[in-house]
Amino acid sequence: MEDVCTCWVCFELFEDPITLHCGHSFCLECASKVYKKNPCCPFCRRPFELPLPPVNKEIVQLVVDYVKSQEVKNERMEESAPPQESDFFQLPDEVLIDILSFLPPRDIGKSSRVCRDFQRLADDSWLWRDICQNLFPFCSVDKYGKNWKWCYVARSQLKYGWDEGKASQFEVTTFRGHTNYVNCFQLYRNNIVSGSADHKLKIWKVDNAEASSTLVGHNGVVNCLNFNEVKIVSGASDSTVRIWDTKTGIPIKSIAHTGAVHTLQFDDSKIISGGDGRTILVSDVRDGSTTLRLDGHNSSVFKLTFDNNNVISGGQDGIKVWDLRTGNLLRNLSSAAPSTFQVAGNQAIVGYNDGQLQIIDVATAAVSSFNGPRHYARINDVQTDGKNVATAAADGTIKYWDLTHKNYFTHWKNTNLRSIRSSLATISWSVLLQTIH
C-alpha cells in the first residue's frame, strides 16, 4: 500500500494527488513542476496539458487510510514495547548523516517518514550530493534549483529509462514540409532546424508539426547545420556556408568553399567548416571572413569538432588534430578512415565502416576498445555525455556503452530495417535523455 500512496517524482506520500489521462498519479505540485520543464508524463511520456485534472479523492482517502494504519501500528508497538530512551539522536549530525550514507538511496528516502529528526537528516544536501557525485559524476545541480535530492530523483529516472526504455513506449510526431529527403537536423531546447535535398532549411517547434519558417538560399543539398538563439549556420553541396538570422530567417553572410561542404561547427566568434575541398576554413562568425586555413587532408573532410585550442577533423585519410591558434597539424590520431567520431574530454570515440568502435587518446594517440558485442555493420553516429556512449549503426541497432569502464550495457534494435539506406543514420543524445522516461 505504501507504493500506491507514494509520488514517484518526489518520493513522498501524495499531497493533493492528481491522475493524468494516461493513468499515472503525482502530487499536484510535482505535476506542475514537470509541466514547466517538459509537459509529458514522467513515466509513459504521453503529453498532458493545462488545466491539470482535479485532485483524486480516492487516492487522498488511500493516503489517509495508510497514515492512520501506520499511526495505529506505531501506537501498538509503543504499547507493547517497554519505554526506553534512544541515544541515537544524541550523536552529532555529521555522524548520523555518515551512518545514513551506508543505506541505499531508496531506504534513505523512506527513513524521512519515520520522524522529523530522520526527515531533517534524510533531506541533508551534503548527503545527496555525495550520492549523486558517486553515481552520476557529470551531473549538475543547477538545473534542479541546487537541490541534490531532486537531482538524484531526476537522474535516477533517466538511468531507469536507459536501462528499461522501449521504443514502443513513446509517441511519435511526424514533421512534414520538405519536398525531398531530410539530410540533417539539429535540436536545441524547444526548436528544431532541418536541412533537406530540396535545398531548403526549415525551423520547427517541438510541440508544433507545422514549420514556423523556411530558409531559401542554397542551390544544393543541405549537408550540415548548427544553430543557437541568434544564428543558424548551414553548409551545402553548392560549395557555400551560409549564416542566417534565427529569429527572422534572413540570410546574413555567405562563405565560399572549393567543394561541397559536409561538416561545420561554430561558437560566438568563429565558424569551422570543411568538405570536398579538403581545406578546413576558420571564419569570423560576424562577417564571414576567413581567418585561418588548415591544409593537410588528402580527401574530403566529413567530420570535425573543436575546443579552445584544437580542431579535430576526420576524413577518408584518417583523423587529424590541429592547433587552432597557429593552424599547424599536431598529430594524426588514426590513418584508417573512420565512419564517424565524437570527442569527450581528451578521448575520441571513433566508429568504423566494419562496426568496430575504438577510444583514442587525443594527446597520445593511444588506442583502446570497448568490451562487449560490437556492431556488425557501419557505425553511422556516435554520441556521448562524457560518461556514457550511444552508437547507431547500419545493422539497425543502437548500442549503449559505459565510457568509464569501457563496457557494453544494452541495445535497441529496429527489426523492420531492410537496407543500409533505411538504417539508423543519426541519433541525438539530448533527444534520448529527454524522451526515455
Tell me how far apart the alpha carbons of residues 111 and 178 are, in angstroms, rounded to a whole number. 55
What was the pLDDT predicted at 39? 85
- Beta-bridge mates of residue 323: 310
Q: How many CA atoms lie within 13 A of 133 on its CB side?
A: 8
User: In degrees, to the nearest 5, what angle opens at C-alpha 313 toward C-alphas 350 and 265?
Assistant: 105
Residue 33 is inside which H or E element, if any?
Answer: helix 28-37
Question: DSSP state, 337?
Answer: P
Residue 100 is inside which H or E element, if any?
Answer: helix 93-100
What was the pLDDT predicted at 416? 38
- Beta-bridge mates of residue 410: 400
Please name the residues in contact with 35: beta carbons below 8 A apart, sequence gap of 6 or more.
48, 50, 52
CB 373 within 8 A of CB 408: yes
What was the pLDDT predicted at 245? 93
Please name the residues in contact with 94: beta carbons below 8 A apart, sequence gap of 6 or more.
none
* Residues 137-166: b if buried by 16+ CB within 10 A, e if exposed: eebebeebeeebbbbbbbbbebeebbeebe
Please name the residues in contact with 128: beta carbons below 8 A apart, sequence gap of 6 or more.
148, 149, 151, 152
What was the pLDDT predicted at 270? 94
Q: Which residue has the cell 540533417?
A: 184
Lay out the sheet containing 182-188: strands in order across: 182-188, 191-196, 200-205, 208-216
What was the pLDDT predicted at 280? 95
Classify the C-alpha dihedral 205-209-212-216 as positive or negative.
positive
CATH topology of domain 182-435: Methylamine Dehydrogenase; Chain H (2.130.10)
Classify the C-alpha dihedral 123-124-129-130 as positive or negative.
negative
pTM, two decimals, is: 0.60
pLDDT along the chain (437 residues), means of 10: 78 87 88 86 83 88 86 69 62 83 85 82 84 77 79 80 60 86 89 95 89 94 94 96 93 94 94 94 93 93 90 93 93 89 90 92 91 89 86 86 83 45 44 42
Q: Helix-strand-coil percent breakdown of the chain, rounded to 5?
A: 25, 35, 40
CB 52 within 8 A of CB 18: yes
What was the pLDDT predicted at 434? 43
Q: Which residue has the cell 590520431?
A: 333
Question: DSSP state, 42?
Answer: T
Domain positions in the chain are: 182-435
Q: Is 252 left (phi over 0), alpha (psi -120 to 50) or beta?
A: alpha
What was the pLDDT predicted at 1? 65
Residue 200 is inside which H or E element, if any?
Answer: strand 200-205
Tell me how far apart the alpha carbons of residues 106 and 103 are, in angstroms, rounded to a whole number. 8
Tell me how far apart the alpha carbons of residues 188 and 211 are, in angstroms, rounded to a whole number. 15
Please name the residues in contact with 302: beta carbons below 8 A apart, sequence gap of 6 or more.
262, 263, 274, 275, 314, 315, 316
Q: Which of 317, 428, 322, 430 is nearest to 380 (CA)?
A: 428
What was the pLDDT predicted at 418? 31
